[in-house]
Amino acid sequence: MTIATPRPLSAVLAERWNRSTLLRHLSIAVVGLAGYYLLSISLDAFHDLQLAQISYTAIAAAGLTVLSGLSGQISLGHGALMAVGAYSTALLLEHQHWKLGLVLLASTAITAVVGAVIGLAAARLRGPYLAGATLALAVGLPSLANYHELRNVLGGANGLLVAPAPPPLSLGETFPVERWQAWICGLCLVITLVLLANLASSRIGRDMRLVREDEDAAALAGVHVARTQVFTFAISAAAAGLAGGLFAFVNQLASPGAFPLSLSLALLAAAVLGGLGSLAGAIYGSIIVTLLPTWSADVAQSAHLSRSVYANVPLVAYGVVLIGVMILFPSGLQGGVRWAGRWLWVTIRRPLARKDSH
């Protein structure tokens, strides 16, 4: 006869934790928000600016990592989608005087629609052909700002200025605007990550993975392949659109020169360096692509090198890091973190296990 012993509370909680993804994600989000807040108030204004820039880069990289890692589609054009979000935000703020939250939501929606259109057009493209199409998009779409007929609206080569949005007076008169910007970006980042994480754990996420592995098997299993792919493209475009809107908000500009091809490639690098399919990886990758140029420029400055050497050190450093991390960390940095974490866990448990067995 088995008597059901009352389970310890810890086991009940652990099981509840493992089963409810939403609870898990929300708790991590709260911890993340708290950590972000503490970080932002301990940094000075300029580093808050960098924190904000890392945050919106991470939003775009997270969308891209979902697209490429989960759904297996390649996009070299997410910089152009950020441009769509940035210009939408700039135009809405200038002409409509809506609140920032509504503007960001609208920009996200607009970019999602653009992404859906692109996803539809590119639905039959695979591999390098999709890469080529998105590459042409990355170069072609921002150049729309130069189009003669649209110059009055889009501002041409000079682009648009976004009026600064000062922090609410309740925070004090000398509250640095950069910290306020970092808060907004951090909040959007956490929300985006929670949504994407939930999406990935949901049935749609499973569908995406199925399509990535084998389209025919997925179709046989009842997954609507094209719809899933277009949907994923639209979601990742929405993330890029939000990132673009925040870009316009933080940098107070939207201009074609701010969205070169290298931005799209940097987003891809951030996603891949961090680990394809990993949201945490998107954060690591964004930190690297945002901070490395500034840091290497500082190092080069203090070394008093000749002009052409000093100016190119950040480029060389960037290339070396990209190549090095890709070669050394096959699954990206997140893979490396997991490996390190697992190694630590095993090393700690080994002496404990030995003790138990005596």
Partner 1 sequence: MSMSTRLRPAAAVAAGAALALVVSACSSSGSKGGGATGSTAGANKASAPGVTATTVTIGATDPLTGPAAPGYSEISPAAQAYFNYANANGGVYGRKVTLKYLDDAYNPAQTLTLTKQLVLQDKVFAMVGALGTPTHTKVVDFLNSERVPDLFVASGCSCWDQPSKHPYTFGWQPDYIVEGKILGQYISKTYPGKKVAYFYQDDDFGKDGVTGLDKYISQSLVVSRQSYEPGNTDVTAQVSAIARAKADVVALFTIPQYTALFKLTSLKLGFNPTMVVSNVGSDPLTLSGLLEAFAKQGGATVNGNQLIEGVVSDAYLSPLGDTSNSWIALFKKVRDQYAPNLPFDGNVLYGMATAYTFLQVLKAAGQNPTRQSIVDAVEKGGLTGPGLVPYRYSKDSHAGFIGVQIGTIKSGALAVTGTPLTTDNGSGPITPYTTAQQPAPANGIPAG
Partner 2 sequence: MERFIDLTLAGVTSGAIYAAVALALVLIWRATRIVNFAQGGMLMITTFIGYTVIQHGGSYWLALAVAIVSGLVLGAVVERVLIRPVENRSPLSAVVVTFGLLVLLQGLAGMIFGGTPRSYPPAFSIIGFGNANHRLLFAPNDLWVVLVVVGVMAVLALVFRRTSIGLRMRAAAFAPEVARLLGVRVGRMLTLGWALAAGVGALAGVLVAPTTFVSPTAFDATLVYGFTAAVIGGLDSPPGAVVGGASLGLALSYVSGYLGSDLVPLGALVVLMVVLMVRPSGLFGAPAGRRV
Q: Where on the chain is the footprint of partner 1 (CB under 8 A)?
A: 21, 24-25, 28, 31-32, 35-36, 39, 42-47, 49-51, 53-54, 70, 143, 146, 156-159, 161, 164, 178, 197, 200-201, 205, 209, 247, 251-253, 255, 257-258, 260, 275, 277-280, 283-284, 287, 291, 294-295, 297-298, 301-302, 306-307, 311-312, 314-315, 334, 337-338, 341
Do residues 236 and 64 lie in contact, with contact meaning Cβ atoms separated by under 8 Å? Answer: yes
Q: Is 224 in the site for partner 2 (CB under 8 A)?
A: no
Do residues 102 and 242 lie in contact, with contact meaning Cβ atoms separated by under 8 Å? Answer: no
d(CA 253, CA 172): 25
Q: Is 322 in the site for partner 2 (CB under 8 A)?
A: yes
Q: CB of 117: closest distance to partner 1 in angstroms?
A: 25
Contacting residue, 81, 135, 254, 333, with partner 2 by CB under 8 A: 135
Q: CB of 104: closest distance to partner 2 in angstroms?
A: 27
Q: CB of 133: closest distance to partner 1 in angstroms?
A: 20
Contacts of 89 (CB under 8 A, 6+ apart): 103, 104, 107, 162, 244, 245, 248, 249, 254
Picked from partner 2, partner 1, none, the partner binding residue 14 (CB below 5 to 8 A depending on kind) is: none
d(CA 93, CA 163): 8
Q: Is 294 in the site for partner 2 (CB under 8 A)?
A: no
Contacting residue, 35, 101, 140, 257, with partner 2 by CB under 8 A: 140
100: buried, middle or exposed (CB in 10 Å: 19+, 13-18, 0-12)? middle
d(CA 32, CA 241): 23
Q: Is 91 in the site for partner 2 (CB under 8 A)?
A: no
> C-alpha angle with apex 61: 59 to 62, nearest 5 degrees?
65
Picked from partner 1, partner 2, none, the partner binding residue 327 (CB below 5 to 8 A depending on kind) is: partner 2
Q: Is 146 in the site for partner 2 (CB under 8 A)?
A: yes
Contacting residue, 60, 62, 76, 238, with partner 2 by CB under 8 A: 76
Q: Find the part of the chain contacting partner 2 (CB under 8 A) among 28-36, 43-51, 96-104, 310-318.
A: 310-318
Contacts of 267 (CB under 8 A, 6+ apart): 57, 60, 61, 64, 78, 79, 82, 240, 289
3-state secondary structure of 342: helix
d(CA 311, CA 306): 9
Taking the least distance from each CB to partner 1, the nearer of 54 and 104 is 54
Do residues 298 and 310 lie in contact, with contact meaning Cβ atoms separated by under 8 Å? Answer: no
Site string for partner 2, 226-255 (x = CB under 8 A): ------------------------------
Picked from partner 2, partner 1, none, the partner binding residue 111 (CB below 5 to 8 A depending on kind) is: none
Sign of CA dihedral 114, 119, 122, 126: positive
Contacts of 301 (CB under 8 A, 6+ apart): 310
Q: Is 318 in the site for partner 2 (CB under 8 A)?
A: yes
Nearest to 88 by CA among 72, 75, 105, 71: 105
Taking the least distance from each CB to partner 1, the nearer of 35 and 324 is 35
Q: Is 221 in the site for partner 2 (CB under 8 A)?
A: no
Contacting residue, 102, 171, 311, 340, with partner 2 by CB under 8 A: 311
Contacts of 295 (CB under 8 A, 6+ apart): none
Which residues are near partner 2 by CB under 8 A?
68, 74, 76, 121-122, 124-129, 131-133, 135-137, 139-141, 143-144, 146-148, 214, 216, 261-262, 265, 268-269, 272-273, 276, 308-309, 311-323, 326-327, 330
